[in-house]
Structure 1
């Protein structure tokens, strides 16, 4: 019988103990490093167990030790200090009463976003190696055969940690690619798959580059992929996943660039697995882009559509999940479709719209729906 693997974008809800440790470190408060490490190891074990219990077949560490999927690099690389300007997405600016409401309700995460103010260099792979060890130990303990680990792309780092040191944006991207290269290679050398988080290929259109035309932005996105591919030059694309999104927040999303416009750029990334949103109400219709441009999808690409949402507490019916997956099966075949989520459930430590228990219920529905779609394939 056909099988459809089940995965997700990577970040999962963190326990309060983990959040407290992360923010103690973030705010440079004293904390017990041995207790920190023990808490992370236990939390990763619990996170992997919950994924396996839910039916996830390609697991992650939930990004447990990271403050966020992009800004964690400030703790592992030199060259960052001060604070970067905050840019509200353009769609939220169009609806100021809604923007005010979510800001006043605590609906926006608060964490440091320093500028790049010096040369970007790795402080060593020690923190990464702890993350890898925790994930591999948890996989062995709970019988998970396949895992992946997230890493920030050069482009998304440049989005959230803006440049105030390198002469040009291109030079900053090149420096980031050179610096991140060892992190990417270390993850793959460990036996895990590497996932690159690349919302810069879509989200940054309405967050940072609002003054450009779509065509001008596509050139920016292409330069981001070029930098990423440079960093991946020694890695087998079969071990690489890339995730694109328009922002993991509930909002109007009326300024989102279309998948059709970023499609070619996305396909040029040195990554076999393409993770993208299809539950988001502004992008659910865009499965037709993959249908209509099937000839442009390289034969080695595997599609990982997001078939559960990560911004609401609705638990999708497994039949809805199955129907969403079944849109993609005729395009590339059952063996080239993996069930995924739109984005992460714990993108920022201590912040998430979805209740932790409901997040795992959604993953359970994801697995059930994948089984239904596979049985009907």
Structure 2
């Protein structure tokens, strides 16, 4: 297939219908059966797929409608993880998050036994494939993210003495799922890696605010800026080594506060090591304030790699007009061939079950992005 210029996609999640959130609550209260909940979930995926098609996206997702969050859902899918409410792990957890202005998911997937191979997203993909003929992206948590998010000193240490031990077992599970998805015909597998993106805010001997929160709640220790960077690179490369026949990308986001000393600095702070991660595409946040200049990152991007450019702010409800999106893209036009530039929102619109973002606004934002892609193709030519 000849690659489009300015291919459009989404990062992963799309806002859930109000009736789906209500259905989850009713299921948790025992008011509806699992079969009834599954029917709601199927309908929500069909609705999301149709909206993404109507918005004009080239590569779609199922909106992660079935997942309680972008990472905690592994507690429901992979044996060995258990979902534990954050204040049961640490009674002061919510106060700790407020102190550092760093929000984590309240239901934490924690490794309590040795994790074992299991389908993570293949079932989701098969259903999505049954209701669309568009190209499909599937998102999976990265091993570095899982290591930081799910190892707990109290609950995990007996089976996994060190967080790195957990990461190695998860890599085995992840590789098998990537291979299953590739063989089933997935077009794009995206590894979600916000913990690596957050490292932009860290110093050599001082962690970023998210790691400070995890240290306080889960007891994991920061290894130093360079050591964390090397570890993330090596874990991701080990997970995808030798797997070909499918596009693999990595999503990094960050939520810079205006008072951060790294406000306005982008992912180039992770260079050169970040360029050694053997993914095809870097899916990066650049529309939100303080995220830096994508041209700085793009100018040293290896010639065989793509940039999934974040051009839609998923925190601001104001809908960008297509020309604003065009201007955001033009920051890297001239630095990269248009076939190497994909357009997507900064992050998922609803990475957690209860994040409030109106579907109509998300739809309008995505529609504006696809209209911008048409303008860019006319301006710079379809190649």
Normalised by the length of structure 1, the TM-score is 0.84
* 1:1-377 mapped onto 2 (5 Å cutoff): 3-23=5-25, 27=28, 29=30, 31-81=32-82, 82=84, 83=86, 84-85=89-90, 86=93, 93=99, 111-122=106-117, 124-125=118-119, 128-140=121-133, 144=134, 146-163=135-152, 164-165=156-157, 166-192=160-186, 193-203=188-198, 205=202, 206-210=208-212, 216-236=224-244, 238-247=246-255, 251-252=257-258, 254=260, 258-283=266-291, 285-291=292-298, 294=299, 296-352=300-356, 354-377=357-380
Distance in structure 1 (CA, Å) of the matches to 2:365 and 2:259: 23
Distance in structure 2 (CA, Å) of the matches to 1:29 and 1:185: 36
**How far did residue 36 of structure 1 move?**
2.4
Is the 1:159–1:208 Cα contact (8 Å) retained in structure 2? no
Is the 1:197–1:243 Cα contact (8 Å) retained in structure 2? yes
**Cα 1:67/1:7, change in 2 over 3 Å:** same
**How far did residue 9 of structure 1 move?**
0.6
Normalised by the length of structure 2, the TM-score is 0.82
**Cα 1:217/1:23, change in 2 over 3 Å:** farther
Distance in structure 1 (CA, Å) of the matches to 2:315 and 2:145: 20
User: SS state of the match for residue 151, structure 1?
Assistant: strand
Farther-moved stretch of structure 1 (303-312 vs 219-228): 219-228
**How far did residue 157 of structure 1 move?**
1.7
Distance in structure 1 (CA, Å) of the matches to 2:234 and 2:240: 10
**Between Structure 1 and Structure 2, which shows a larger proportion of strand residues?**
2
Is the 1:218–1:265 Cα contact (8 Å) retained in structure 2? no
Distance in structure 2 (CA, Å) of the matches to 1:150 and 1:342: 15
**Cα 1:175/1:310, change in 2 over 3 Å:** same
Task: Specify every segment of 5 or more residues in structure 1 that has no aligned partner in the other structure, as ranges.
Answer: none
**How far did residue 151 of structure 1 move?**
0.7
**How far did residue 343 of structure 1 move?**
0.4
Is the 2:308–2:341 Cα contact (8 Å) retained in structure 1? yes
Please list the CA deviations of residues 76-112 of structure 1 after superposition, one character each: whole Å capped at 9, or x if unmatched. 112234455548898x646xxxx5xxx9xxxx68641
User: SS state of the match for residue 322, structure 1?
Assistant: helix
**How far did residue 139 of structure 1 move?**
1.4
**How far did residue 239 of structure 1 move?**
1.3
* Match in the other structure for 2:205: none
Count of aligned residue pairs for this structure pair:
351
Farther-moved stretch of structure 1 (318-327 vs 262-271): 262-271
**How far did residue 264 of structure 1 move?**
2.6
Please list the CA deviations of residues 187-230 of structure 1 after superposition, one character each: whole Å capped at 9, or x if unmatched. 22221111111001022642344599x99223213212311221
**How far did residue 181 of structure 1 move?**
1.9
Please list the CA deviations of residues 272-291 of structure 1 after superposition, one character each: whole Å capped at 9, or x if unmatched. 111101111111x3223225
Is the 1:218–1:262 Cα contact (8 Å) retained in structure 2? no
Task: Specify every segment of 5 or more residues in structure 2 that has no aligned partner in the other structure, as ranges.
Answer: 203-207
Distance in structure 1 (CA, Å) of the matches to 2:308 and 2:196: 17
Distance in structure 1 (CA, Å) of the matches to 2:326 and 2:306: 17
Is the 1:200–1:221 Cα contact (8 Å) retained in structure 2? no
